[in-house]
Chains A and B, each alone.
Chain A
Amino acid sequence: MPLPTITEGDIKALIPQISSAVEIGHGGQRVVFRATCNGQPIALKFALLSDTFKPDHEDLEVAILRAQRETQILRECTSPHMVKLGPIGMGTTCIAGQNILYYSEEFIDGQTLNDWLRSDGPLHAKEVVRLGLQMCSAIADLWSLRKIHRDIKPGNIMRRSDGTGYVLLDAGLAFDVAGESISAGFLVGTMAYFSPEQFDYTNRRAMDFRSDMFSLGVTLYEAATGQHPFFTPTTTVTHLFSKIMKQNPVPPSSINSAIPATFDKVILRMMGKSPHLRYRRIEQLRDALAQLQEDL
């Protein structure tokens, strides 16, 4: 079921504090607006509720309460590299007969890492390490609340235009490892950045921050080389799955000679096929990246 068209008028009627709203992104079951709320820019996100939840299996109200509880927990995130929730709390509405969930986030002036890589090519090694360190901060922040993001990828990382760094978006999909989540029942995220264990839906409760570490490893690999370690335009879904599960990617330095060999070791470890082959603590990854930063 596609998301119905949501107009600025719909938004103003729904949220009176909003004085303007311009669509800036549309994908799948979600749409994002740059809106002005009490004079401040915010990102306002709408998602098709009936596709996000399983109303035939659980009570919708209970699910919404759970989602609100989760976003409340995310409000506790303190990392400057984790997107902040905006002033408009989570709510639901009905547009064209469809149940819609909406929430707001801070508006980040910049472009996604995905767009940046497409226009400017790979990042310099130092910048890749900076990106890694900042995303470590976001992952650690989430994990301190026993949450994992599950959808770390260049398209979900904003590069601030003022050059101060990167921010991890879409925290609304964060998964509560101790219970259900707003995305319960679905494999979320983009498959090309999935960790091997993310393909095992039945095993989802065993996942921890090391799954996000894998996705970050794929992201850093791509940022450093301009190439995805497992995916090319001709890769089929089956082939992609097989590569993520079994194939060890070539070292980044073999693609981009400006990348030092010490960097290979860190990135490839992040992409270990099993969680036990990756860094056991996020601090260990942070230390390894900090060491790289010092050596570069």
Chain B
Amino acid sequence: MAIYAQHGYGKSGKIDAALDSGSIDGVIFGARNEKIENIKSCVDNVREKNGKVLLDPQFHVSAINPANDRFLPDYPFYKAGRTSADFIGVKKISSHVKTTLDFELTLQLDKLLSPTVIFDSFESKWCQTALNLADASLDYHASLQGAPPLLLSFVIGEEALESRNELDDFLDQLTSWESMSGAYIIFSREDYSYSQRFKPERLANALYLNYVLASINGLEVINGFTDFCGLLFRSVGSTAFASGWSQGMRQFHTRSFTKQKPGGQQPRLRYTSAPLLNSILLSELQQIYESGNLDQVLSGVPLDEVITGADSPESSDWNAPTSELHHWESLKLIEKQIGEEVPENLSVLDERIATAQELYLMLKNEGVVFGPQTRPDHLEQWSEAIETFREIASL
């Protein structure tokens, strides 16, 4: 029912433009990427535009060493280099919770997000720490009068999704908290390269997690740092998802929060194609144009005019800001068509995937060559994941 902008580095006018165009419904600010002295005005600005606002405190970065934490050290709840010893005992856990939520309460946020730590196994001590932080957050939130609703945050390494039994136990635990009203879920991706691929068995369990929390247990679920997969999660009942303007804000990687050697390439221009269910390179769109099939891959959103109004994609004024806004517009277009009935949503997804596969095949036959990250591999994975999900959810 909503798409949020996942705030990251270099917001410039992107948020305003996206809110004005209606392609996003709100913003999840990241404390790491905004100076503490500016965060209030950022929040107020979104509220003035009637957007929804959340602040991801990104508390989890404190347990990454060495952390690429940018402005986080200025925030009162953050301390670099926390270790497991910093989470032993009720007093320490309660203190982390109080400092984090108290800071969030100084802002006019629509929901509070609890502090958490990253874990890559439901059996790990870090998962237990995440659960302790969540439990303590519920307790502290219950003592606050008139506070916004609380969403419990979890950053789950996708490797954790390998074990269905462990996931079941985790879900049993979460749903036993009667005062829980929702969750902010981030899947930390294993593959650092930007693509829509997701190992089917893991994606099936990710779908199951969203389905159980949102559809079965009626909790509000927001998926952070997601991209096209957010549409899959929405289809099984999650309430909203957040996607950023840069590739690093569309998928969560711990590497993004770890100090790296300087360098790296400037990202290449992309075009988000709703029919292909992928974000392809502009050079690939040019090939498609040259094969005479441009109309079939266009998303059908207002910003397509930048492409269609020019002689060719590569000769158009297509640039990074346009591409970023267009990405949200395209996601929003599909998101708006998602209904409330999970089986029906899955059938629609099946059709979309089949159509995208046919389109990819036709383009291949026309000589269009896609790169390793923009090939249709993800479509088969999604299809397999949906089938597995249907089985485990008895749908």
Residues of A within 8 A of B (CB): 197, 206, 208, 210, 248, 274-277, 280-281, 284
A275 pairs with B176, CB closer than 8 A: yes
**Measured CA separation A240–B219 after assembly (Å):** 33
A280 pairs with B394, CB closer than 8 A: no
**Measured CA separation A281–B179 after assembly (Å):** 10
Residues of B with C-beta under 8 A to A284: 218
Q: 15 A-B Cβ contacts within 8 A?
A: A206-B172, A210-B176, A274-B168, A274-B172, A275-B175, A276-B168, A276-B171, A276-B172, A276-B174, A276-B212, A276-B217, A277-B212, A280-B217, A280-B218, A284-B218
Residues of B with C-beta under 8 A to A281: 178
**Measured CA separation A197–B176 after assembly (Å):** 14
**Chain B positions 20 through 54: 1 when the CB is less than 8 Å from some CB of chain A, otherwise 0:** 00000000000000000000000000000000000
**Measured CA separation A208–B168 after assembly (Å):** 15
Residues of A with C-beta under 8 A to B305: none
Besides the known contacts A274-B172, A275-B176, A277-B216, 16 further A-B residue pairs in the complex with CB atoms under 8 A apart: A197-B172, A206-B172, A206-B173, A248-B394, A274-B168, A274-B171, A276-B172, A276-B175, A276-B212, A276-B216, A276-B217, A277-B212, A280-B175, A280-B217, A280-B218, A281-B178
Residues of B with C-beta under 8 A to A197: 172
A208 pairs with B171, CB closer than 8 A: no
B169 within 8 A of A: yes
Q: Which of B190-241 contact A (CB under 8 A)?
A: 212, 216-218
Nearest CB on B from A163, distance (A):
34
Q: Which of B144-198 contact A (CB under 8 A)?
A: 168-169, 171-176, 178
Residues of A with C-beta under 8 A to B218: 280, 284
B172 pairs with A275, CB closer than 8 A: yes
Nearest CB on A from B209, distance (A):
10
Residues of B with C-beta under 8 A to A210: 176
Closest to B393 in A: A277
Q: Which of B323-341 contact A (CB under 8 A)?
A: none
**Measured CA separation A206–B170 after assembly (Å):** 11
A208 pairs with B394, CB closer than 8 A: no
Q: Which 6 A-B pairs have the closest CB atoms?
A: A276-B171, A276-B175, A275-B172, A280-B217, A276-B172, A274-B168
Residues of A with C-beta under 8 A to B172: 197, 206, 274-276
A206 pairs with B394, CB closer than 8 A: no
Residues of B within 8 A of A (CB): 168-169, 171-176, 178, 212, 216-218, 394
**Measured CA separation A275–B216 after assembly (Å):** 11
A to B contact number (C-beta, < 8 Å): 30
The DSSP consensus for interface residues of chain B is helix
Residues of A with C-beta under 8 A to B175: 275-276, 280
With contacts A277-B216, A280-B217 known, is A206 near B169, CB below 8 A? yes
Closest to B213 in A: A276
A280 pairs with B178, CB closer than 8 A: yes
Residues of A with C-beta under 8 A to B168: 274, 276
Residues of B with C-beta under 8 A to A276: 168, 171-172, 174-175, 212, 216-217
Nearest CB on B from A237, distance (A):
23
Closest to A197 in B: B172
Which of B168, B169, B173, B175 counts the most A-chain CB atoms under 10 A from its CB? B175
Residues of A with C-beta under 8 A to B174: 276
**Measured CA separation A276–B169 after assembly (Å):** 9
Residues of A with C-beta under 8 A to B173: 206
Nearest CB on A from B362, distance (A):
41
Nearest CB on A from B172, distance (A):
5
Nearest CB on B from A207, distance (A):
9
Residues of A with C-beta under 8 A to B394: 248
Which of B173, B174, B176, B218 counts the most A-chain CB atoms under 10 A from its CB? B176
Closest to A279 in B: B217
Closest to B216 in A: A277
Nearest CB on B from A2, distance (A):
38
Closest to A274 in B: B168
Residues of A with C-beta under 8 A to B171: 274, 276
A208 pairs with B216, CB closer than 8 A: no
**Measured CA separation A160–B295 after assembly (Å):** 73
**Measured CA separation A82–B210 after assembly (Å):** 37
**Measured CA separation A65–B251 after assembly (Å):** 56
**Measured CA separation A276–B216 after assembly (Å):** 8
**Measured CA separation A208–B216 after assembly (Å):** 18
Residues of B with C-beta under 8 A to A208: 176
Residues of B with C-beta under 8 A to A275: 172, 175-176
Which of A197, A210, A274, A281 counts the most B-chain CB atoms under 10 A from its CB? A274
Closest to B394 in A: A248
Residues of B with C-beta under 8 A to A248: 394
Nearest CB on A from B168, distance (A):
5
Which of A248, A280, A284 counts the most B-chain CB atoms under 10 A from its CB? A280
Nearest CB on A from B230, distance (A):
22
Residues of B with C-beta under 8 A to A280: 175, 178, 217-218
Closest to A272 in B: B216
**Measured CA separation A64–B172 after assembly (Å):** 32
**Measured CA separation A210–B216 after assembly (Å):** 14
Nearest CB on B from A76, distance (A):
20
Nearest CB on B from A274, distance (A):
5
**Measured CA separation A274–B174 after assembly (Å):** 12
Residues of A with C-beta under 8 A to B176: 206, 208, 210, 275
**Measured CA separation A210–B178 after assembly (Å):** 12
**Measured CA separation A167–B44 after assembly (Å):** 56
Closest to B209 in A: A276
Nearest CB on A from B285, distance (A):
43
Nearest CB on A from B219, distance (A):
8
Closest to A206 in B: B172
Closest to B170 in A: A276
**Measured CA separation A193–B60 after assembly (Å):** 43
**Measured CA separation A200–B175 after assembly (Å):** 19
Residues of B with C-beta under 8 A to A206: 169, 172-173, 176
Residues of A with C-beta under 8 A to B212: 276-277
Nearest CB on B from A165, distance (A):
26
**Measured CA separation A284–B176 after assembly (Å):** 13
**Measured CA separation A12–B66 after assembly (Å):** 77
**Measured CA separation A208–B174 after assembly (Å):** 12
